[in-house]
Structure 1
Amino acid sequence: MGQNEKYWTADVSSLSKEQVKAKLWEELRLKADIGTKGITISENALNAIHQDESFRGQKLGGGRNRKLYKGKDLPGCVYLPYGLKVTFTWNETSSYVVELVNGKHTLTYEGKSLGEIQYSKKLPYDGQTSSDGVPLDLIGHADYYDQHVIISYSNECSYKERDEDCLFCNINYNKDLYTEKFGPYWRTPLQVAETVKAAFEHGVANHATLTGGVVAERRELEYYVDAGEEIAKALGVETFNGTATVAAPTDFSNIHKLKEAGFRTTAMNLELWDKVFYEAVCPGKAHGSGGWDNWVKALEYAVGVFGWGRVRSNFVAGIEPMPRTLEGFEYLCGKGVVCSFNVWAPNVGSAFEGHRSPETEWYIEIATKLAEFWKKNGFTFDQIHDATAGDYRLPSDIFRIENEVFDIFKEAGKGAVA
């Protein structure tokens, strides 16, 4: 799917921009509902997309799925009829089913058609390898829709050694599942740089996020400095649009070193605001990296280094009460930190496997309020794009709907009779 191709299938030529906005708000609720309930696909539809040479599937079947999946590669995401992107979180019991209807891939709910959808397609660099032979699409995944390339340099987290994994996380579970399939997972700085260069040069991405499991602070800093310098060298620049996703350092001088390595932004994902929940759900973070207080201080300090709107902290929304999460959003956004969140999908292999997410409207409400905090604190879409790890999250959708940023708005009314 090229940069200039449509992500929507609905005909909006006879609709006004206000009508398109209303349709997108309806689709936002649909997207949130899929996020909380998951999605599945019929055998016929799955077989059909595997006959399409342009199809690009999930690389890690455990990912954000509700149960372990061992069949044919599932889609990484789908684009809904009006163009909103939805992560394909597989749940075999979901009432949302992708079916093949008259040759078209159609999203259905309890048998009722909701419209034609599209899948993510192969990228120009799919099939290419790094200089040492590792497929680039295993090093980093990207999407024209987001203009992001996300690279997980490791699939391990040191919290496992002390039995202190975050209860919502399945990174170490996935490592045990997929090492045999994908080989040793530690990505070298050179591999990272070659993948970012390919994504940027092909126009797939203009922003890179480098992330991974938590490792020792000194080891993490050395890795990010090496990777940043390799990326800058590969791109022929001194600084680049990239995010270094790190644990909060206890030595704040390390934050300066990340910027000096070339990264435009940094991220320290606090996950939860309530200290009691934080202690129980994120024991590794609570007991390491200086604990909750140090994470908050490090985020504030990082804004002084990278600039307003150039620091991000992600939350896993739905575990702690909404008022506590919103308190964190309001406080951190007011300090120049771009907060973001994921719709919590209790992942296979995590301690929360089998739990349920909050209701759909819960997510609509919290996303709407976060988008308001962004606006109140003067964050631009470019800052949000550069700081976050993808433009497909609910508050980003709301921000773009209300500011008519989506390309679908350009098609509104083109078929109306004068």
Structure 2
Amino acid sequence: MPDTQIGLKDRLWKELALKAELMTDGVDITHEALEYLAPGVRTQEQVHTLFEMDFEVHDGEMPAYFRLPLGLVVPFRWNRESRHRIELDGDRTIVVKRDEELAEAHFPERPGYYGLKTSDGASMATIGSLGSDRQFFVAYSNECSYKDKGEDCLFCNINFTKDTYGEKSGIFWKTARQIGETYAEVHRQGLVDHVNITGGVIPERRELEYYLDVAESIQRHSGVEDFNGTAVVAAPLDLRNLDRFREAGYRTAGLNLEFWDKGIYNAICPGKARDSGGWDHWLRAIEYAVGVFGHGNVRSNFVAGIEPKKSLLTGIQYLADKGAVGTASVWCPNPGSDLEGHRAPEPGWYLDLAHHIAVIWKRAGFTWANLYDSNASVDSLQHDIWRIEAETLPVFGELALSAAE
């Protein structure tokens, strides 16, 4: 292996370590940098869909994400108490820690369709947001039936986000037509390769009918039969309903178990524990879904940092053995959730976890298509590790091109 390639990997591992810190601790931003970036005007802004992922609520627009110099993507999680901050240096935005510049931060331009409206006047930016890797993310509502029973998941602030930001921030029930029209425009602009449809937990029959309507609307408005969609759903009591999602045109499915340890699951997710058949039925539904969608085409996410790492990895290994992709998100103690004010584990904890997950994925025979298609985003630490090891990040192609010249 050429020295330049070895050096590139070494620099990528260092950049990944910085990313882990920025995801775990969040990042502050100076007024000057925020004014220069002008999120919502010049650069892409956050869209409050499911959750408030910043460390505290705020007025005004915040950036959606930024890229580090070698291309790793960092979701922007504002935390005024963070050790890291974004500063303006001339016409550069940089990541600073204790007045030391660590890296330049590159913020994406605002997507063209964000300024457009659907036929009924809704802002397309609020219907579906654009991820860093050509992924179209739709949260059709912040309605979660667990709220009325006082059984929200303790880590979740879906209902709080709706109550705090409301319709003025685009938090409302999206119609199938709005989604179809917006996807058609995003597709026309050549911006999308994958669609993720999700929302709060609603009654099973209503959920099924809605997802079928959305798939039909996407196909009708865009003319795209296979839109590479992931249906993120609750475990249906009638498992045959999963066949209906596949028949409607969804290529993959997401059934998020959240925790592998049953005791922790029951305590943290009281609504899920009592409805939809509980933990055991959710697991049966995931296994059934693999039979419907195929090996590597079903994803189940875990909220990483609340249960022990050993337990979480046991779950991800079990799912991999069954053909399901287990993922782990860096837990943000969301404002408004019952766990607000708690702390996530150290960045090194997450890096170690991600390395183990990447190994499990490789041994299970998952392809990059599986990992891309079944997930709402590929900005996780484990996705980065996969691409660094496989040398498939764009920066490797740039290095090869430079060497050829």
Question: Which of 45, 66, 84 is the aligned partner of 1:78?
Answer: 66
Q: 2:55 — aligned with what?
A: 66
> In 2, distance between residues paired with 1:191 and 1:19?
47
> In 2, distance between residues paired with 1:123 and 1:351?
34
Q: 1:129 — aligned with what?
A: 117
> In 2, distance between residues paired with 1:52 and 1:63?
17
> In 2, distance between residues paired with 1:239 and 1:169?
32
* Cα-Cα RMSD: 1.9
Within the alignment, does 1:220 sit opposite 2:213 as a pair? no
Q: 2:238 — aligned with what?
A: 251
Question: Which of 109, 114, 119 is the aligned partner of 2:102?
Answer: 114
Which amino acid in 1 is paired with 2:102? Answer: L
TM (norm. structure 1) is: 0.93
> In 2, distance between residues paired with 1:380 and 1:326?
20
Q: In structure 2, do the counterparts of structure 1 residues 183 and 43 end up closer, same or farther at CA, with 3 Å as the change threshold?
A: closer
> In 1, distance between residues paired with 2:156 and 2:171?
20
Contact 2:181/2:222 (CA < 8 Å) preserved in 1? no
Give 4+ residue runs of structure 1 displaced > 6 Å after superposition.
Answer: none
Deviations 1:154-212 (A, max 9, x none): 01211001111011110000111122413661001111111222222222111000000
Deviation of 1:381 after TM superposition, in Å, equals 0.5
Q: 1:233 — aligned with what?
A: 220
Deviations 1:265-300 (A, max 9, x none): 111000100000000001111111000000000000
Deviation of 1:383 after TM superposition, in Å, equals 1.1
Q: In structure 2, do the counterparts of structure 1 residues 385 and 316 end up closer, same or farther at CA, with 3 Å as the change threshold?
A: same
Show the 5 A alignment for 1:251-400: 251-400=238-387
Deviation of 1:59 after TM superposition, in Å, equals 2.5
Contact 1:16/1:413 (CA < 8 Å) preserved in 2? no
Secondary structure, counterpart of 1:125 in structure 2: helix
Deviation of 1:368 after TM superposition, in Å, equals 0.7
Which amino acid in 1 is paired with 2:56? Answer: K
> In 2, distance between residues paired with 1:59 and 1:184?
9
Structure 2: gaps (5+ residues): none
Deviation of 1:54 after TM superposition, in Å, equals 2.5
Secondary structure, counterpart of 1:166 in structure 2: coil
Structure scoring higher RCO (CA < 8 A, sep ≥ 6) equals 1
Q: 2:182 — aligned with what?
A: 195
TM (norm. structure 2) is: 0.96
Identify the structure with the greater helix proportion.
2
Residue identity over aligned pairs, in percent, reads 45
Contact 1:316/1:342 (CA < 8 Å) preserved in 2? yes
Q: In structure 2, do the counterparts of structure 1 residues 237 and 104 end up closer, same or farther at CA, with 3 Å as the change threshold?
A: closer
Say how many residue pairs are matched: 403
Moved more, 287-296 or 181-190: 181-190
Q: 2:19 — aligned with what?
A: 31
